Structure 1
Amino acid sequence: MAHEVRGVVSIAKGEPVRLETVLVPDPGPGEALVRVQACGVCHTDLHYREGGISDDFPFLLGHEASGVVESVGDGVSAVAPGDFVILNWRAVCGNCRACRRGRPWYCFNTFNASRPMTLADGTPLSPALGIGAFAELTLVHAGQCTKVDPSVRPEVAGLLGCGVMAGLGAAINTGAVGRGDSVAVIGCGGVGGAAVAGARLAGASRIIAVDVDERKLATARELGATDTVNSRDADPIEAIRALTGGHGADVVIDAVGRPETYRTAFYARDLAGTVVLVGVPTPELQLELPLLDLFARGGALKSSWYGDCLPSRDFPLLVDLHLQGRLPLERFVSETIGLGDVEAAFAAMSRGDVLRSVVVF
């Protein structure tokens, strides 16, 4: 039986999204049907609309979501109807070479639901990141559901499904920020702001936020930044060095993903420091660095995929920290909106007016 719901669909490259009737099938083996309660508006959804991810239109957008399991298919035991869950887009397989080596956050064979959601005329939809949560119901692989404490507000919990987890994990998991470290974060939108919060949670002694928008720098201070640098007014490399005794930061996180911000991160780190790239570059971007500098400066250059998170490990822990008052996830929610307001939310995001708009059902 198919369930008829309303969903936000991107029909063609660059066209405004629109509300369409979506048919969601019952779960098959290993799948779960989830009633979505909240879903954040992420830059990745805009990239889908602009054709920056793939050309598999039409897309059912939305992926940064939380909700309640409605029903499950055969063979599902980890979650049950009534469970409050955060959705994730990396349901690990447990059998690939990364999983067998004890590194499931690098899983090379992640799962999605196999049964398609469709438009009313039967046209298959491509769900964003295998989720498609700008709809009252969505069908996912059961491994994409992580059960967490149901006392957390849905609009806060869902943010761990993508952007906030990416930033937190870039600091805590990929960058391995430790007590007393100095950290610089370049780009302080939703992901960069979360990296600031993650560095604070990890015990960094100096956290330097870099951006061109004073509003984002002010928010970064609220999230734990000890210092801010507006790179319109100052050379960020020199500013970061000046704030770290002339050495550079132990960990520098690039939450933008452009050649110029990566070069800044590379030269703003201390010798043998770590650079973490968590901002997602567009396909045409190229980077040039002197090979001798790569050799001479040592250290580590890392990319952070989804904050190198393991949802089953990280989501419940971070929700618990939030409920204890130690992780202010609510500060990332700039506004709550309806399902028909996603296009306006894209515009607000492009102007830098919000950290996150969140659709609440």
Structure 2
Amino acid sequence: MAYEVRGVVARGKGAPVSVETVLVPDPGPGEAVVDVQACGVCHTDLHYREGGINDDFPFLLGHEAAGTVAAVGEGVTNVAVGDFVVLNWRAVCGQCRACLKGQLHYCFATHNAAQKMTLADGTELSPALGIGAFVEKTLVHSGQCTRVDPAAPATAAGLLGCGVMAGVGAAVNTGAVQRGESVAVFGCGGVGDAAIAGAKLAGATTIVAVDVDDRKLEWAKAFGATHTVNSRRTDAVEAIKGHTGGFGVDVAIDAVGRPEVFEQAFYARDLAGRVVLVGVPTPDMQLTLPMIELFGRGGALRSSWYGDCLPSRDFPMLVDLYLQGRFPLEDFVSETIGLDDVEKAFEKMHKGEVLRSVVVL
């Protein structure tokens, strides 16, 4: 018997979202139904609404979520009813060529629920990133549920489901920031500030935040930036070199995803430094760099997808660090809102007025 709940739906490209009745089926084999307690409003949800991901409308939006398991299907052993979980969109298969090489964070065949949630008239919904969590209950594959310490508030823990994990992982996993190294982060929204917090957690001693908005640069200081650069007024590459003895940083992280920003990151690193792209570009973007610079500078150019995370390892660790007072997870929450306020939250996010609005259910 299906659950009848309220959820935020995007029916067409660019159209305002609406709160509608959603039917959630009982979990089938390998699936779980989760009572969503909180879900962050992420740029990816706005990309879905704008048709920037695909055109499989209508979408059930929301994916940065935490809640409790309400029901499980046949064969589920990794979670049980009542478990407090953070949802993830990288439920690894364990069988593909990446998994068999021990590189589970590159899994090529991640799992989603086999059944579809629908509108009241039977129209099938496409859940954002295979989750769809701006809803009172959602259906996911059980592997998309990661148990964490229930002492953490859902409003904070849920942000690990996407943006915060992407940023922290870009620094810690992909960039492999080491103690005493220098880091520059381009773009100080939620992902960029999480990369700054991750660099600080890893022991970086010089962390340069770069943005065009002084308000965001102030936020970056709170997460661990030791220096800030407004690239609208100052040459970012020269400023970063000025903060690193003229050499450039060990790790440069592009949390924007634009060719001109990546080029700045490329030239702002020291010889043999690492460049990490975690900002998401659009399909039409092109990058041109002199091959002699690629050859002569050495180092590495890396892309970071979901922070190269393994949810079963990284989510509980970061929640534990938060509960120990060593990671400022709750500071990413700018405001809490209801389901009816998601459209307004998109406007605030577009204007750069918030790090994260979080829907509380």
Task: After TM superposition, give the deviation of residue 165 of structure 1 in Å.
Answer: 0.2
2:342 matches 1:342 = yes
Task: After TM superposition, give the deviation of residue 4 of structure 1 in Å.
Answer: 0.6
2:199 is matched with 199
Q: For the residues of structure 1 that align with 2:87 and 2:81, how far apart are their CA atoms?
A: 15
Q: For the residues of structure 1 that align with 2:85 and 2:159, how far apart are their CA atoms?
A: 12
Task: Give secondary structure in 1 for the equivalent of 2:113.
Answer: coil
Task: Give secondary structure in 2 for the equivalent of 1:166.
Answer: helix
2:318 is matched with 318
Task: After TM superposition, give the deviation of residue 215 of structure 1 in Å.
Answer: 1.1
1:287 is matched with 287
Q: Which moved more, 1:42-51 or 1:213-222?
A: 213-222
2:214 matches 1:214 = yes
- The 5 A counterparts of 1:231-246 are 231-246=231-246
2:309 is matched with 309
2:149 is matched with 149
Task: Give secondary structure in 2 for the equivalent of 1:262.
Answer: helix
Task: After TM superposition, give the deviation of residue 295 of structure 1 in Å.
Answer: 1.1
Task: Give secondary structure in 1 for the equivalent of 2:165.
Answer: helix
Kindly report the root-mean-square deviation, in angstroms, between the aligned alpha carbons of the 2 structures: 0.4
2:123 is matched with 123
Letter in 2 for 1:324: Q
Q: For the residues of structure 1 that align with 2:184 and 2:190, how far apart are their CA atoms?
A: 15
Task: After TM superposition, give the deviation of residue 249 of structure 1 in Å.
Answer: 0.3
1:109 is matched with 109
Q: For the residues of structure 2 that align with 1:255 and 1:107, how far apart are their CA atoms?
A: 23
2:328 matches 1:328 = yes
Task: Give secondary structure in 2 for the equivalent of 1:185.
Answer: strand
Deviation by residue 1:291-348 (Cα, 9 ceiling, x = unmatched): 1111111100000010000000000000000000000111100000000000000000
Letter in 2 for 1:233: R
Q: For the residues of structure 2 that align with 1:123 and 1:42, how far apart are their CA atoms?
A: 25
Deviation by residue 1:124-181 (Cα, 9 ceiling, x = unmatched): 0000000000000000000000000001000000000000000000000000000000
1:2 is matched with 2
Deviation by residue 1:188-226 (Cα, 9 ceiling, x = unmatched): 000000000000000001000000111111111010010
Q: For the residues of structure 2 that align with 1:157 and 1:329, how far apart are their CA atoms?
A: 7
Unaligned runs of 5+ in 1: none
Letter in 2 for 1:35: D
Task: Give secondary structure in 2 for the equivalent of 1:320.
Answer: helix
Letter in 1 for 2:83: D
1:172 is matched with 172
Q: For the residues of structure 1 that align with 2:307 and 2:220, how far apart are their CA atoms?
A: 19
1:251 is matched with 251
Task: Give secondary structure in 2 for the equivalent of 1:238.
Answer: helix
2:185 matches 1:185 = yes
Task: After TM superposition, give the deviation of residue 71 of structure 1 in Å.
Answer: 0.4
Q: For the residues of structure 2 that align with 1:122 and 1:287, how far apart are their CA atoms?
A: 44
Task: After TM superposition, give the deviation of residue 83 of structure 1 in Å.
Answer: 0.1
1:34 is matched with 34
Task: Give secondary structure in 2 for the equivalent of 1:183.
Answer: strand
Task: After TM superposition, give the deviation of residue 290 of structure 1 in Å.
Answer: 1.1
Q: For the residues of structure 2 that align with 1:298 and 1:48, how far apart are their CA atoms?
A: 37
Letter in 2 for 1:319: V
Q: For the residues of structure 2 that align with 1:284 and 1:46, how far apart are their CA atoms?
A: 19
Letter in 2 for 1:208: V
Task: After TM superposition, give the deviation of residue 284 of structure 1 in Å.
Answer: 1.1
Deviation by residue 1:11-49 (Cα, 9 ceiling, x = unmatched): 000000011110000000000000000000000000000
Q: For the residues of structure 2 that align with 1:357 and 1:297, how far apart are their CA atoms?
A: 40
1:83 is matched with 83
Deviation by residue 1:79-101 (Cα, 9 ceiling, x = unmatched): 00000000000000001111011
Q: TM-score under structure 2 normalisation?
A: 1.00
Letter in 2 for 1:265: A
2:300 is matched with 300
Task: Give secondary structure in 2 for the equivalent of 1:270.
Answer: strand
2:16 matches 1:16 = yes
Task: After TM superposition, give the deviation of residue 232 of structure 1 in Å.
Answer: 1.1
Task: Give secondary structure in 2 for the equivalent of 1:316.
Answer: helix
Task: Give secondary structure in 1 for the equivalent of 2:179.
Answer: coil
Structure 1's consecutive aligned runs of 4 or more residues displaced over 3 angstroms after TM superposition are none
Query: How many residues get paired?
Result: 361
Task: Give secondary structure in 2 for the equivalent of 1:74.
Answer: coil
Task: After TM superposition, give the deviation of residue 283 of structure 1 in Å.
Answer: 1.1
Letter in 2 for 1:46: L
Task: After TM superposition, give the deviation of residue 351 of structure 1 in Å.
Answer: 0.3
Q: For the residues of structure 2 that align with 1:291 and 1:273, how far apart are their CA atoms?
A: 16
Q: For the residues of structure 1 that align with 2:316 and 2:242, how far apart are their CA atoms?
A: 38
Letter in 2 for 1:157: A
